[in-house]
C-alpha cells in the first residue's frame, strides 16, 4: 500500500508541501466498469503547487483514476465508485455537490489536441462565458489574453485571434491552446492525460516548461509514459499496477529506490 512516510525529506519545492494541508484526498477509491474492477483501494493526497505524475503499464487504471477526480465517469453507464475523494472538506460525490461547479475547479487536457472548430479567441473565451465569469467584453478580452500568455501562446497568435481557427495551428500550438482553454474557468487543479503523447520533442519541451510555470498556482496531475518526462517535471510520482496504486513517493526516490518490486522493474524499463 501507498505510504510515503518513509521517504527522505525532499529538497526544494516539495519540502514546503510537507507542512501543507492536502488540496484533495483520495481514500480507498475502488471503481468497477460493470463486473470489471479497474481500481482497487487507491489512496493518495494531492497538494497545491505540485506536479504529481501517474505512471505504470497500459491498462493499469491511470486514466480511470484521473477521471474520478473531476467526476468524468458521471455520464458513463455501469460505473460504480466506492471510497472517498475529499476536496475543501466535502466528499465530491456527495449529493450536496453540484457537478458543473465541481468540474469548473478542474482543467482537463487530453492526449490528442482537440481545439474547437472556432476562432482562437472563442476557444479560450468559451469556458469563462458559460460559467459567467466575466462581466463584459473588455474583461473577457483581458482574460483571454491572460490565459494565452499563461499557456505561452500569446505572442504567436495575438495578431489573428479572431481570424484563425484553432485548427489552423501546429500540433504543439493546438495543445497550448487547449491548455489556455483549460485555464479559462480559473481551475485549481489541472488534469492531463498524456498531454505530450502525440507531439514532437520541441513542442513537448515547451509544454513541460509551461507546466512548471503553472505549478506556481495550481496542482497538476499528469499521466505520462515517459520516465524522462516524469523525472524532469514531477515533484512526486505514483506507480499504478493492475488497478492498485502500489507506491507514491518523491520523484527522485521513486526512480532510485522504489520499495515495490514491480515499480522498480517498470522504471528500469524491464516491462511496460
Ligand atoms: N469505459 C470502460 N468500460 C469498461 N472498461 C474500461 C473502460 N475504460 C477503461 N476500461 C478498462 O479499465 C482498465 C483501466 O483502464 P485505463 O484507466 O484506461 O488504464 P490506463 O490509463 O492506465 O492505460 C483497463 O482494463 C481498461 O480496459
Ligand atoms: Mg490511459
The per-residue pLDDT for range 250-270, each reduced to its tens digit, is 999 999 999 999 999 999 998
Instruction: Kindly indicate the confidence band of residue 4, based on its pLDDT and cuts at 50, 70 and 90.
Output: very low
Please tell me if the CB atom of residue 270 comes closer than 6 angstroms to any atom of ligand 1.
no
Q: How many helices (H) and strands (E) does the chain have?
A: 10, 10
Banded model confidence at residue 271, pLDDT cuts 50, 70, 90: confident
Residue 154 in contact with ligand 1 by CB distance below 6 A: no
**CA angle, corner 62, sides to 255 and 8, nearest 5?**
30
Q: pLDDT-derived band of residue 226, with 50, 70 and 90 as boundaries?
A: very high
**Cβ 73 vs Cβ 67: under 8 Å:** yes
Q: What is the pLDDT of residue 61?
A: 98
DSSP H helical ranges for 70-119: 99-104
Question: Which of 59, 80, 225, 246 is the pocket-test mutation for ligand 1 (most atoms within 8 Å of CB)?
Answer: 59
**Integer Cα distance of 215 and 107 in angstroms:** 13
pLDDT for 2 beyond 50: no
Q: Which residue has the higher pLDDT, 3 or 140?
A: 140
pLDDT of residue 170: 97
pLDDT in tens, 149-186: 999 999 999 999 999 999 999 999 999 999 999 999 99
59 lines ligand 1 (CB under 6 A): yes
At residue 80 the predicted structure's pLDDT band, cuts being 50, 70 and 90, is very high
pLDDT at 205: 97
> What is the longest distance spanned by two Cα atoms in the chain?
56
* Cell matching residue 156: 504567436
- Ligand with the closest atom to the CA of 110: 2
Report residue 206: phi and psi, to 5°: -65, -40
**9 has a pLDDT exceeding 70:** no
* Dihedral sign (CA 128, 130, 136, 141): positive
Q: What percent of the chain has pLDDT over 70?
A: 93
Q: Is the CB of 77 under 6 A from ligand 1?
A: no
User: For residue 18, what pLDDT is reported?
Assistant: 59
Q: Residue 15 pLDDT > 80, yes or no?
A: no
Looking at residue 202, its pLDDT comes to: 95
The verdict on the CB of residue 224 being under 6 Å from ligand 1 is no
Q: Report whether pLDDT(212) > 70.
A: yes
Q: What is the pLDDT of residue 13?
A: 53
- pLDDT on residue 138: 98
Nearest Cα residue to atom 26 of ligand 1 = 59
Using 50, 70 and 90 to split pLDDT, how confident is the model at 93? Answer: very high
Model confidence, pTM: 0.93
The pLDDT-based confidence of 111 (bands split at 50, 70, 90) is very high
pLDDT at 3 over 60: no
For the CA of 39, the closest atom of ligand 1 is 14
Summary mean pLDDT of the chain: 93
Ligand 1 atom at minimal distance to the Cα of residue 223: 21
Amino acid at each position: 500500500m501507498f505510504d510515503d512516510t518513509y521517504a527522505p525529506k525532499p529538497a526544494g519545492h516539495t519540502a514546503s508541501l510537507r507542512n501543507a494541508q492536502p488540496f484533495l484526498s483520495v481514500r480507498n477509491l475502488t471503481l468497477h466498469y460493470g463486473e470489471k474492477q479497474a481500481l482497487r483501494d487507491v489512496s493518495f493526497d494531492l497538494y497545491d503547487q505540485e506536479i504529481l505524475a501517474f505512471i505504470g503499464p497500459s491498462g493499469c487504471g491511470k486514466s480511470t483514476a484521473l477521471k474520478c477526480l473531476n467526476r468524468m465517469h458521471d455520464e458513463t453507464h455501469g460505473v460504480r465508485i466506492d471510497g472517498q475523494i475529499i476536496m475543501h472538506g466535502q466528499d465530491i460525490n456527495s449529493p450536496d455537490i453540484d457537478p458543473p461547479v465541481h468540474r469548473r475547479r478542474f482543467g482537463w487536457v487530453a492526449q490528442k489536441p482537440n481545439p474547437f472548430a472556432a476562432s482562437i479567441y472563442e476557444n479560450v473565451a468559451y469556458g469563462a462565458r458559460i460559467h459567467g465569469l466575466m462581466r463584459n467584453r473588455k474583461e473577457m478580452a483581458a482574460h483571454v489574453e491572460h490565459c494565452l500568455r499563461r499557456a505561452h501562446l500569446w505572442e504567436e497568435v495575438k495578431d489573428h485571434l479572431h481570424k484563425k481557427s484553432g485548427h489552423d495551428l501546429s500540433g504543439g500550438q493546438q495543445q497550448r491552446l487547449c491548455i489556455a482553454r483549460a485555464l479559462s474557468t480559473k481551475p485549481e487543479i489541472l488534469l492531463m492525460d498524456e498531454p505530450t503523447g502525440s507531439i514532437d520533442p520541441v513542442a513537448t519541451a515547451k509544454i513541460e516548461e509551461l507546466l512548471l510555470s503553472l505549478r506556481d498556482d495550481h496542482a497538476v496531475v499528469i499521466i505520462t509514459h515517459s520516465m524522462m518526462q516524469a523525472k524532469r517535471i514531477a515533484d512526486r510520482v505514483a506507480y499504478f499496477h493492475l488497478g492498485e496504486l502500489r507506491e507514491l513517493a518523491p520523484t527522485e526516490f521513486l526512480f532510485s529506490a522504489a520499495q515495490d518490486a514491480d515499480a522498480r522493474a517498470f522504471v528500469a524499463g524491464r516491462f511496460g
